[in-house]
Each structure stands twice: as structure tokens, then as C-alpha cells.
Chain A
């Protein structure tokens, strides 16, 4: 299988779906000649023209409102938010309009739209361009939240998201755009709501998404080599709906759970994972308290050392895994 970047995978998913379905179009800021702030849509204007690569003024609320309106009457918009942080400007059309139209109108409306948004820290962009706001989006019935960690997942999940009939928030981690992974040349799609076990293990279940999957895999390798600890890394891939079954099954096997995310701790989705597991029979199989390792409860700072200290790093994960496995309860 050829290796392509995460950026290319997202690009390819959009291009293939736009070729397949004339209703699909891309709307957002600087997505044409500029190719998008992170270069994801580079070249798409040349292929599809300004009629389907719709470059907008800097009007985030109107972009999401327009996507929702177009979706309600039969189009399949993909809206690009330049940074995930800007989604906060669009909460009204996203939460009060797109997410609710179907329910509020008694099941008679569909709003098939995808909002792509680069999230996460690590680029020195500071507090307003580095957030991980997945939990805010997960809290809204009617919205699905997807957060791929690999090129393979990014392409397959984006294709499913574009074909889905609901508003989808598709969270891309900006540090992953250059990462490479194998992606088949033939068409494929990954169903939403299905987790993926990225590494099998026996001693501890580590749930992580986005870039934290990669950091967790690195940490798992270190503790395997240095401590003989066998970590199972589960990537939910879709945060809402959350595949609790796969996570609970893993916990039943390992007896320990650590949830790692970059988003801040308070009311973060680690709490949701832990609560969900505690409601299953797997709770009875736990040999240790469930733990979470998350971003600190601070805005993302600018200084590189402070920025790195604000979110979990490989060493932090290694330390946490050891603490859980080595403590006698």
C-alpha cells in the first residue's frame, strides 16, 4: 500500500467524494488559490472551480449557517474552519440550527454537512489557535464528532462523514498533517462509531485519540521494552457516538484503564469514557482505579516549554502507565 500524509488523505477523500457526488462542495476561508491555511485543499480550485470551492469572507458564523442552509435543501457541504478555535464563533448555527433541525421538525429535515477543523497545540500559536474543543461538540445531541489519528482513518472516516446524513464535526490534529501512513488505492470507508485497537496488550487499556494515539503508542513501546508492561491502545476514532463496547471489552481483558487526551481535564471526554466503562460489567474486572491524563486546566501558552508542559507528552504517559500498573490496590 502506498504511504501518504494525513493531509493528503483528507484532500483525497474530499476530491474523490466531489468527483462522485455533484452535491458535495467545499466552503471556507482561503481554500482556493491559497489552498487552505494548512494546504489541505491545494489544487482543488483548479479541478472543481469557484462554483464548488466556495471561498468566503471571514464570516465564520455565516459559513456554518450557509453550510447548514445548503444541507437542509439537498446539498452536501464540507465547511472548513481555519482553526478549531473559530468554531466558537459558529455555535449558534451549529448547535441551535444544524444539530436541532431534524428533531425539532419531527424527523422531517436532514442536515448532511461536515465541518472540518484543525485542533490541538504544538505550533506555538498560543491560546486562541491551539485548543482541543471536542468535548463542547460532543455535548450536543444531533452532532457527531470524529477525530482521526492516521492517514488511513482520516480518509475512510471523512468519506463516511461526507456520506452521513447528520452534521459532523471532523477534528484534524494540525501536528498530524505531515504524518504518513498506508492508505489503499481502492475506495474504502470506515463506519462512524467504531473504535480501533491500535496495539494489543494485556495489562492496561489506554484510550487516546488524535495525536495522543501516537504518543501513547510510543509510550506503550517504551514500557514494553523497559518494564515488560503490555499496553492495549484503543483509538475511539469517533468520539460521539462513542464505541463503549470495544473499550469495555478491552478493560475486561486488562483490568486497568488510562484515558489520555490533549483537551483540558475538567469536563473533558476522559470523564465520559470512565463513566461509561463504570456503567458496564467491566467495572467488576478493574484491578486499579481508572485514571486520566489530560491537558492541564490552562489556556495553551506560547513559550515552547510551557506549551509542551500544558499537554501530555510521551514521558508523562510512561510515568502514568507505570504508576497504575505498579501500584498495589
Chain B
């Protein structure tokens, strides 16, 4: 007979405000097998855990049920407490009476009853629990970093500096990300490229880092410590070993008018190109969609001029297969463009640009060499309107969140403009100024007080063009929502930051969860900000939510430490929640009939064939066997097995039936 202890947590008031916790504890004490039942304000606290530990010893418990929150956070806490008290940790269970009960119901008798029902099912499960031992698996000490912006660069360098090998994969032809596009950075106004490019070079030269640009992750299999990753190295159309990066091909290419992605379409590039002069690697790539040779079969000028004969028109994509122990996702963000705003012209006005475009205009290496010139006619605008919260905090446009970086970069933009065009007027329309950060508020004040940027609190209703001017119609809500109409030469929209293109696709490949805006989801919003719910996969930078450079770099270093910690031991302890094919004495050996229907459905390729042989070596029976190192405990095979020969440890048929029956019994009484 099992001896079970029930521990009902108040969770401060999170549970006790709607559930009568004392009553639940009292009723639980009457359940068969329960020998001890108490409630306590914070069961996860040290005194709370001590309650559990002492009860185990005092009452000689064979099982523990903690009625509290979701197991996600505190199941490990109580398992550890059990282990410390000498009880096998897998004999403890969490009854989730918070997310499943107190948070979603009003205070009532039924709510208390439901909480008790949840406890009852878990008591029933616990009485069928068996002791389990954790599984040890080896760790491949090589990390994969996806995305070569500042976060990916920082993560790769930090991991590499702990002595471990890193593969950095970047989709575009060069690393650098958005930071390489920026002119100057807030709040210090230091040049973005000046601080970034040395890091980019460091990545290229680091002995522990292998860099694959113009490459994408094709697929990911396996699990923490043992990922198997395929990387598609897209054809660059040149032999990278031969190419010296002299750039002659790029100057001779007859196609010169292709809108440059790096210049945010404000500048042009040839068909064979490096995105920018400081690109790493400094080796060009042929854009086959725009190359004359690929379109017409004629040209090959780049091949003719190349001094090292490095051009390879017939090069194909290659797939690299690598073993990886941990992955850091650092795929960054995109911004919305002016075509997202019907009320601001839906992209039809050339001089309504987004913030990244302004960065290129302000950048010394940009299409205007750092002169602020408007795209339509190249004139220097004498009046610029900056619109903050363009698309952000706008549920009607599907983006309810604050993009966080725009207040600061708008202040920076206005300031840079005033520094470059002394007689220019800068107007900013804003809703709130969110300048939380070291020296941030001071920076915004400087823009307003010292650089005379005119801040107006209100949103712009519409923009239309008249005689080469942009008529901006806004309101000043601090003057009783009085109309403000400005005839501007250029308008800069601080457009919302959004998840980078393809992030949903990547998340699905990685089995990483993501939010409704396609940003990757952290494992816990406060305590596990760089972890994902998938073991061994970590997050860095703006792929989790838009964030600025200091935050991205800090997060990248955090993710690097998580990787280093994982690589610090040779073996990894894993949950023993795996499927197992039953074994019984001969002559049948197992109820498994060897149909192997389970094999193709296993998402982790964990099911192998095991031949049982007699002494003479003749095969007498073939059985399915599950590789515990690969099995992730998803249970698909269990559901499919026709002879009911597979059980999921920790969630056996017996345990699940116990849970269900305990509910049904009550329902039919």
C-alpha cells in the first residue's frame, strides 16, 4: 500500500484567493493511500520544501503530490527536495491547481472542488508511480550559432573563447546584421561600424570559429548535446579559396542598377557584389536572379576579368552535415517599411522613409556619403518630421507591443540631422518617450534642449504630398489636441520592429516555440530569458523581442555562458521519461510482434530493430527497441502500438488509467 503526502500551496494569494486551500488539504487527507496532507503559503520556499522533506522522513512516504503551479517551473524543485529526503525524485507529482484552476475561475465552491479533483487524480497517479533513474548521454562539444548580427557575433566569440568549437551560419553574404547598417549609435553617438567591424574580423580569424555565410540551416534532428544539423551552403558562384576579394569583378559587372538590400534600396549594387566594403568575408556572391549570364546565357565579364579565375557559374548548393551539442539562435529582427501605412501613403511617397533608411542616409559609407539628402530629388531637406510609434502600439495594425528601440533612435536621428543640417528643422511626433536605460533619458533631453528638436505629443493622422512637400497632419495633445500641420521635406517613420523573415519556419525546424508575432519564446519570462523550451537551444538578441545593441550583446553573452555550462561536463543527465518496449521471459520475450509500425512514426528515429537469437545464433524473434538516448518521450509510438507493448516511463498506461478512473469514479458516484 502506498503512503502518499499531499502538500497544498497557497502561492501567496494566487491560489488561495479563489480556492479554499485548507479544505482541499483536509479532503485530500481522506483519500485512499494519503497519510499526510497540509497546506502552506509558499511551498516552493525553503521552509515549504523543508515541510516536504520532513514529512517524507516522518511518515515514511512512498509518494508526494504538490498541489501548486504548473510543473514547468517547480517540478525540478520538488523532485530535488524528494531526492534530498531519500525518496526517488520520480515518485513526486505536481497537481496544477493554479494555471488549471485558480487563475481561470472565480472564487466558488466549484473552484475548490475542481482543485480537489485535480489533486485526487494526481494522488491516484502517484500511487502507481515507479522509481526511475536518470539517463546519461554524451555531449558533442561544438556549438552552432544561427545569425551573424551583433548578437550572433558576440555569442560565437564568447563560446569560442571558452575553448569550444563554434559554427556560425549567416543567411546573407556577410555577417554584421543591422548593426553594420547603422550610422551612429545611441547614447554615445559612436560610429557603429567602427565598433562592430573589428569584431567581425575577429570572428573570421578566430581558430575556433567556422563561418558559413550565404548559408542557411536546412534541418535539425536530435536533442540536447546531440543535434544533427544540415546546413545549406548556397552557391556563391565562385571558388572561395581562390578569390582574393580584389573586387575587380564587382566594378566591371555591367549590371549596376540593382537596388541594394544593404542600402535599404536607397543605393544600387552590381549583380556580383559584396554587400558593403567592410563585409566579412570580403568575397562577392553572384545574384543569379539579376545576373545577365544567368538570364541570357551571355556576358561572363566577371569570369574574364577575375585574376585568379575564381568564378564558378556551374556551382551548386552544398549540404553540410554537422554534429552539434548546443544551438544559439540569433536571427534578429526586421522593420516594417513605409508601404505598411495606408494613411502615410502606403509607400507611394519616395520621401517617406523608415528608420533604417535614414541610418543609411546618415551613414558616412551610405549612398549619400552621410549627407542627408531626400530620395526623390537628392535635395537636402530643410524640415524633417520624425514619427515615433509607426505601427508599434497599434493593435489595429496587429502590433500591440512597444518596439522599445524607436524612442532612442528617433532622438538620435533628429540629433544627427540637426548636427548635419544646421538650419534644418526637426519635428518629432511621439506618444510617450520611453528612455529607460543608462544615459538614455539624458540623451533625449539633449536632443530637445541642446539641439532644439521640436517634440510634439500626438500621433500623425495622415500625410499627403503637395508641390514637392509632404503635408503632415498631426495633433498636439498637450495643447488640448490642437491640430498641427507641418509642410515637411521628408518624413521618417520609426516603424515597428518585427520578427525576421522566415523565423516561423526556423522555429519549426528547431522545435522551438514562438509567440503570436513569431518572435521566439523564452523558457521563462524572468528566470530563463535565454533558454527555450527545447533543451540545448538558446536565444540571443532581437529574435526574442526587439532590443537594442547593449541588451543584445548582454543576452548573447548570457546564452554563451549557458552553452559553456552545458559543455562543462562530458555526460548529460536526461529525464528518464522515455518509451520502453516490454520484455518478458522466453519463449515469447515480449508482447511486441515485430510489426515495426512504430518505426516510421517516431520523429526522432529512436526505434531500432533488435534480433533475439538462440545459442546457435539463429534469429528467433525480431523486436522493436527504443534508443533511450534518442527518445524524447513524445509517446507517439505508445499510442500507435497495436499489441500495447510500449509504455512511456513516468506515464505508463497503468498510471494514466489510474488518473482517468479516479475522475470517472467520482463522476459516477
Question: Do A and B originate from a single complex?
Answer: no
Residues on B facing A (Cβ under 8 Å): none
